[in-house]
Amino acid sequence: MYDLLETIDSPQQLRELERKQLPALAGELRAFLIESVSQTGGHLSSNLGVVELTIALHYVFNTPEDRLVWDVGHQTYPHKILTGRRAAMHTLRKPEGIAGFPRRCESEYDTFGTGHSSTSISAALGMAVAAQQAGLERRAVAIIGDGAMTAGMAFEALNNAGAMDANLLVILNDNDMSISPNVGALNNYLAKLLSGKLYERMWRSGEKVLRVVPPVLEFAKRAEEHVKGMMSPSTLFEEFGFNYIGPIDGHDLDTLVSTLHNIRQLKGPQFLHVVTQKGHGYQPAEDNPGKYHGVGKFDPSNGDAVAATGKKTYTQVFGEWLVDMAAMDERLIGITPAMSDGSGLNDFAEKYPQRFFDVGIAEQHAVTFAAGMACDGLKPVVAIYSTFLQRAYDQLIHDIALQNLSVVFAIDRAGLVGADGPTHAGSFDLTYLRCVPNMVVMAPSDENECRQMLYTAYQHDGPSAVRYPRGSGTGVATQTEMQALAIGRGHIRRQGSGVAILAFGSMLHPALEAAEKLNATVADMRFVKPLDMALIRELASTHALIVTIEENTVAGGAGAGVMEALQAMNMTVNTLCLGLPDAFIEHGVHETMLARCGLNADGIIDAVEKKLT
């Protein structure tokens, strides 16, 4: 079935194929991708869209000596398959298996670790300069999607690169537009022409001749820009100092190979615009690329997903609350940095399109955009993943908290995130939020508490955050009626003696389970900031051991806040802080990952018993 693909375990073997064999290889690679991802889950649409591009890059460039830097990295499954990891694809995103994103420690072909967007041009430019400093002819290539190009960091890198003479190629993988007639034979021919040596020599020679006649030289440059501008959207990137080529059909292997071969001979910053289709070659993914962006296991014959648990996810709880709250208050605005589906805003966007803003992959802008709205009386809710809010930390402090603006942060994917691994884990938000003045920080222990906390945050006059985990909770029903919680107040969920466990958010349920054996008191703390000082004082006065537990790094987290509170109250008591260790946690099954960190019932019991001996 995979006659060609099974002969390739490295790009060197790929480069031994005849060029006319590449389309057949693309067909096999696409079929293997569908079969493989249907068994493991993962990203599908984005990978199907870059099959031909990946083959062409490894066919033309001398990888790994030439550096390929993939932006975000969720489109690197074909790259992994062609670089010796085909046999390991059944372990994708599984414990001890290969990662869903590029990792330098996994392969010499993964030149730069990614997971967050818009870093590729900066990294590839750094590599190009390193080659230049060493006097090497090595090439550096950044492959970036049109979504990632919306981030300011990408333009910062373009601005810097265009002013340098490093041998950098930026490939814009544009999968947001259809392959329309302008990306056809004429445009492909033009791209080959503009990337060829003959065109470069003619232009350089003409430039030398005309330099002695500046007005004529300026006229020639303007004429060239005019002709290229009529054929392609080149002006923006050429203003940055790049030689723009394209757009070309990203599924036409002959054009890709010819154009890349030509570009590889050129010096200085080059920009190639490639148009692809998400989900290309698999009808269900072509029809609904968003649905097949990140998938669980599915039936490859029809694309039907394996049945889910049926429990409501925290993301769904947020989405329902947002729609309900918007119906009650027309000032509510929903904002997301390119994560409408993942953050649960699709229903809101459909019902309230004038109050919904997807600002693209621009987390910094999203936060300050919300700040501006809050200044003039609107009530913005920023829906964002914990790991992505890290990218807007200065704006959180300087633009929101410092001015004490009423902005709600609905922070999804808090804590460990299973198969997506450390690049997407929300391991640090309690730490980086807790130290910011004016912030109110909440962590719900179940679905209904999440809904009530979102309402509490919305009613609060000032910045607030509700952080909740990926996936479903315990199945607790959400109450339609909403009532604001008393800020800074936790409550006792189980009364015991000797040991008091102060649980934050998702850790309440393993704490309650462990408490049955330990006969411990368990408090659902609810608020990380402000802490319930009265409850802490009461528990510290009546128990021999205070245990804090959180799905956040121990360093500077909620437990550290409790220790600071005890110190401020001049209370001396035996303490134990449980949470994520000072390490990046590898991808795997969420429950297993928690167990390895000692954050399940057995781990809590073991840690407490050791502390008491």
Q: For residues 554 and 77, what is the distance between their CA atoms, to the nearest angstrom?
A: 34
Sequence-distant (≥ 6) Cβ neighbours of residue 152 within 8 angstroms = 118, 362, 364, 365
Nearest to 442 by CA among 522, 528, 380: 528
Nearest to 384 by CA among 343, 350, 331: 343
Q: For residues 57 and 552, what is the distance between their CA atoms, to the nearest angstrom?
A: 40
- Strand pairing category for 491-494 and 440-442: unpaired
| E strands, 195-324, in order | 243-249, 270-275, 294-295
Indicate which residue of 85, 93, 278, 434 is catalytic: 278
Can you name the residues that pair with 283 across neighbouring β-strands?
Answer: none
Sequence-distant (≥ 6) Cβ neighbours of residue 165 within 8 angstroms = 132, 267, 268, 269
Residue 526 a catalytic site member? no
Q: For residues 17 and 23, what is the distance between their CA atoms, to the nearest angstrom?
A: 11
As given in the structure block, the two tokens for residue 559 are 């437990």
Nearest to 175 by CA among 257, 84, 267, 71: 71
What single-letter DSSP state applies at residue 572? -
Sequence-distant (≥ 6) Cβ neighbours of residue 263 within 8 angstroms = 169, 195, 245, 270, 272
Indicate which residue of 80, 103, 139, 391 is catalytic: 391
Residue 596 a catalytic site member? no
| Three-state secondary structure readout of 3-71 | CCHHHCCCHHHHCCCCHHHHHHHHHHHHHHHHHHHHHHCEECHHHHCCHHHHHHHHHHCCCCCCEEEEC
**Beta-carbon neighbour count of residue 364 at 10 Å?**
19
Indicate which residue of 363, 447, 449, 550 is catalytic: 363
Residue 278 a catalytic site member? yes
With residue 174 as reference, give the H or E element that holds it.
strand 168-174
Residues involved in catalysis: 278, 363, 391
